[in-house]
Structures are given as structure tokens and as C-alpha cells.
Amino acid sequence: MLVLLSYGFWAMPQLKEILAGVAIFLFGMLALEDGFKSFTGGVLERLLKRTTNKLWKSLSFGVLTTTLMQSSSLVTIITISFLSAGLLPLMQGVGIIFGANLGTTTGAWLVAAFGLKVKISAYAMPLLVFGVILVFQKLKTLKGVGYLLAGIGFLFLGIHYMKEGFETFQSSIVLSDYMADGIAGLLIFTLLGMAATVVMQSSHATLVLIITALAAGQITYYNALALAIGANVGTTITAIIGALGANIEGKRLAAAHLVFNLVTGITALVLIVPLANLVDGIAETVGIGEQNYTLKLALFHTLFNALGIALMLPFIKALCRGLEHYLRTDERRESVSLPLSRPDRRREQVKPLYLKKAVLNNPDTALKSMIMETHHLFDNVYGVIARGLMLDRSVVESDKDLNSQLESPVSKDAFCDIDELYQRYIQPVYSELFTFAATAQPEMNSAQSKELFAIKATARDLVNAVKDIKHLQKNLRQYLVSDNVHICQQYGEIRSQIAFLLRRLYFIRHDSLAQEDNDAELVISQLRMTLEKNDVISNDALDELIRHRELTPRMTSSLMNDSHYCRSISKNLIDTVEVLMTAGSGGEGVLSRELALAPEEVEALLASEQSETEAGDNG
């Protein structure tokens, strides 16, 4: 492409100004993207929850955000990342995409109505000056505003150069002499519109190019209509590329985008003459001049997108069901419950479910994905601990009598290999979680970094719980089947304490996730009190056994150590559930509680970590 462009500049110097205008326009869109990414910290998540809970709200959200950002591709990529992070259901995501296609038509109206009639470069210059000054500020908000102003300035400047370039181009060569008529011409220019959008990754840039070429008389009106249809279809490539790093929900959304744009494009091509006649009728009614083809093109672009929404909206539920049926994944199956009541079999390592490249587009979605992945890690740790205690997870997570299982005889051969389970279920998710966190953190603000720090600490504690169950299991295997009834009873009590804690935590988590139960914090406080009460050292039970010489010195030391492991496992699990319950709400209090640090110590620790990260980036 670079070679072809170089040849084009040499053979046809008039191309330089047009293509420079396209380049400046695209650079402006990149600056706009950086500007909008600066305004994060939970704002987008809260906005999505309030404005997309119904289909009509999703459509409106898509129209509004695309109008503000002037990039349907950017809105699509953001929507894919939020869908991949679980912040949006598929139907609401499809609604946003439908609305974004209608919102993208506002750019054509702005350019056709104002961009070609006003010396738009006069507005671009001050915007660029103010924008660049703000970009060099340290405050992230000011920097974001600077990128927004600079982005709009570059958009205006790009439109100006494209317009000037086509006017210069007109004196040297007339493209309309080479145009094809009829169906062949429509298909050729539709494909050209698709190709231009694929190359520039922006239907907005293609539309501006079409409008400026039409205004300069380089293409005919019907050629411009076909190009606009092709640009609409070509913009799906950006969504498909964005979905490559997304989970299955993101891929379904990209497929929905493709289906919508293909149906809309084919319909517009088949009905291009009736639609053009309808445009003429509406133009005459609202006072658009008969020869004002640029405004007519903007009207046509709006009409065929609105027609596509009208055609597809009644079938949106069927579309979502079809996508869920034909686009399936085995990702969820990788996190199934461990085979607690069956012998272990060699399996592949599980993979993270939520750490997808697409969610890195936005710090909010990246943080949400890490929270969900920590839930996934907790589920696997929960299963490993239950398996290490020879408990049937289905019994633990039900209302069945748990005491009957605890009182059943346990064979030494029944215990599993914790190391093997760790390598299969824990280590892959844990390591990917920290790698993902290191990638996402530089784009996060202070509040998000605090919450990320708490999540990382929680993941570390979960892994420590697995290591503790490995140490505990060694003596469980020996003393649960010991002839000494007292040591057998004490280890049975340790096993029972963890088993009932697992059951309580299961119901706390699922009630809290499903119903946002406000009593969960009270239950957790009670669990902490019970943990202190059951400590074999603090409740004098161990002293009583030693006084009556019921235990050997070796049994005594083992029981003391394993009581510590039991306490550590229980504390780490309780702390984890507490953090996960409050994750997504700021994280500062959670961080302080998790690490037992004063607020000022937390601030200092985070500042130290942030400076180390920045030093690494600079290096």
C-alpha cells in the first residue's frame, strides 16, 4: 500500500491533498478515542446500567453516543468490550449496535449541511491550539478534554483538506467520465465503498470523502448512494476485528452487526430507486434544493439505516437466539465442578473465562473482567479444598445432611493429589490474572488501581489457602484413620469446621450475587466470631487433652500446626468472599480491611506501586 501510494503521489500530485485530508481526519478520530477513554472510573458502567435496561433505551444510547463520538466503530468496540466483561446482555448490545448505525448518519448531515458551506478550517485552528495545550497538562481530566478538542480540530481540518483537494482534482481529471451505469455501476461502487471503509477503518471518513467528491462533481449522485451503502457494510470489519480478542458474547455481537448491515445494505441496493424517489419527495417537502445532492445523500443514508432498524427490530429476539444456538463455546465447561466423588483423571489445564483482549479497551471493563475471573478462581479453589477434604461438592452446596458424609469412614487412598489439582485448576488462572492486571493497570485511575490491588491480594490469599490445604491433608490422611480416638476426633472437627464454612460461604455468595442480600455482612461477622471460638488453642481444648496425656507430643505439635492451617484457610476464604461482595464499589475500604492497613498506609503502598509501574514503562 505504501508503494502504491508513493507511486500515486508521483503520478498524480493532486492526490496528496485529498489523502492528507483523510489521514488528518483519521488522526482526529484516534485523538477523540483517547479523549473519551480518559473519562472512566465507573462512569460508563453506571451510565450503561441506567440507559440500556430496555431495548428502546439501548437504541437511544447507541444513537446518542455515536453522535457525540462521531464513530460508530468506536461505539461498537466499546460495546463489545462491555459485553465481554459481562456488563451488558446480548440483546442490549445488539440494540446499541442498531442505534449506532443510525447515529453514524449525523456525521453526514453535519458535513453536508455545514462542513462544505463554511470555512471549517477557521474553527479547526483554535480547537487545535487549545487542545494541544490541554494535552500537555498532568491532570488526566484536562488531558482528556485536550484530546477531545484536538480530535474535533483534526476532524475539521481533515474535511477542509479533502474538500480543497477534490476541487483541485477536478481541474485535472474528471472521474465521472469513467463511471459505469446500471446495476454494474451500483455493484462496483458498493464494493469500492466497502474497500475504502476497510482500509480506513472508518465509515465516517468514507462518507466525508464521498460527500466532498460528490460536491466537487467527481462522482454522480447514484454512485455516491452506492458508495454510502458499501461504507455501511464495510464498517462491520472493524467490529469483526474487535471481536477477535473477545469472548463468545463479543463474537455474537459482531455477527449481529454483520447480519444487520448486510440485510440493510442488500435492502438499500434492491430498493435504491424507490428510496431515491422518497428522498426527492422528502427533500421537496422540507425545502432541500433539487440539486443539493450532498444533503440528499445524508437523507438517503439516514433513511436506509432507519429502514434496516425497522426491518430487524421485530426479529431481534430471534436473532439473539439464533446467534446463541449457532455460536457456542466450551469455555464455561472448563470451569465445571471438580470430580469430587470420582477418581481424578488427567485433563487439560483450565483457562481464564473473562480475561479477553477486547476488554482492555476500557479500564472499567478490564477491572470488571478481573473481578469476574477472581470469582472463577474462587470457584476452583473452593473445589480443590473440598476435594482435598474428601467432600462431595454437590452435598456441600445443597441442603443434604453434611454430618452423614463427615461421619462416613475415610480411606487413606481416597485423598487426592493437591499439586496435580493446583497445576490444572489454579495456576493457569492465577498467573493469567496477574499478567492481565499488569497490562490493564497503566490505564487505570487511582480508585481503580486501589480496587485492582485488593483483587490481586485476594487472588494471592486464595492460592495460599490451597497451599494450606495441601499441608493439612498430610496429617488428615494419617489421623482421620488413627486408632487414637482423641486425635481422630480433633481432625474430624477440623474437617467439619471447613466443610460447614464452605457451605455457609456458598449460600452467602449466591444469595448476595442473586439478590444483593444486605444481611451477608452480618453473616460474615458471625463467621469470624465462630472462627475465633473454634480455635483449638484459644478454647483450651488442646490443654485439656495434654493434661490428660491423651495425645503424644508429635500429635500435639501436628494438631497445633494444622489448627493454624485450618484457621488460615477459613480466614482467607471469608476475606475473599467479603472482598468479592464489595468489588466494583470503590475498593478503598476493602483494601484497608484486606491488608489490615491504615488508610494512609494504603495510599503510600499504592503510590509506591504506581511509581514502580511508571518507572518500568519509562525504562
- Distance from CA of residue 303 to its chain's centroid? 32
C-alpha cell belonging to residue 317: 429476539
**pTM exceeding the 0.75 threshold for the entire prediction:** no
Round to whole Å and give the CA distance between 512 and 476: 33
Q: Which spans in 389-484 are helix H?
A: 393-396, 402-407, 418-421, 427-440, 446-479
Round to whole Å and give the CA distance between 342 and 357: 36
Confidence class of residue 409 from pLDDT cuts 50, 70 and 90? confident
| Four-residue CA torsion sign, 596, 598, 603, 605 | negative
Q: What's the one-letter identity of residue 103?
A: G
The CA-atom distances, in angstroms, between 82 and each of 30, 51, 85, 368, 584 are 20, 14, 5, 9, 14
The CA-atom distances, in angstroms, between 568 and each of 91, 204, 210, 611 are 44, 58, 67, 32
Determine the average pLDDT of the residues in 337-349: 49
Residue 611 has pLDDT above 60, yes or no: no
Confidence class of residue 555 from pLDDT cuts 50, 70 and 90? confident
Q: Which pLDDT belongs to residue 118?
A: 56
Round to whole Å and give the CA distance between 214 and 95: 32
Q: Which pLDDT belongs to residue 462?
A: 93
The CA-atom distances, in angstroms, between 67 and each of 103, 422, 589 are 5, 49, 38
Determine the average pLDDT of the residues in 501-530: 73
Comparing 215-224, 294-303, 463-472, which segment has the lowest mean pLDDT?
Answer: 215-224
Determine the average pLDDT of the residues in 429-436: 91
Contact 302, 67 (CB under 8 A): no
Q: Which pLDDT belongs to residue 619?
A: 42
- Pairs from 42-47 (Cβ < 8 Å, separation ≥ 24): 42/364, 42/447, 42/448, 42/584, 43/364, 44/78, 44/82, 44/362, 44/364, 45/82, 45/87, 45/364, 45/368, 45/584
Among candidate residues 582, 371, 407, the one with its CA nearest the CA of residue 496:
407
| Four-residue CA torsion sign, 5, 11, 17, 22 | negative
Rg (CA), the chain: 31
Q: What's the one-letter identity of residue 338?
A: L
> Which position has the grid cell 453506571?
46
Angle CA(395)–CA(401)–CA(407) in degrees, nearest 5?
Answer: 95
Q: Which pLDDT belongs to residue 170?
A: 52
> Which position has the grid cell 462518507?
207
Phi, psi of 490 (to 5 degrees): -65, -40
Contact 162, 21 (CB under 8 A): yes
H or E stretch covering 37: helix 15-37
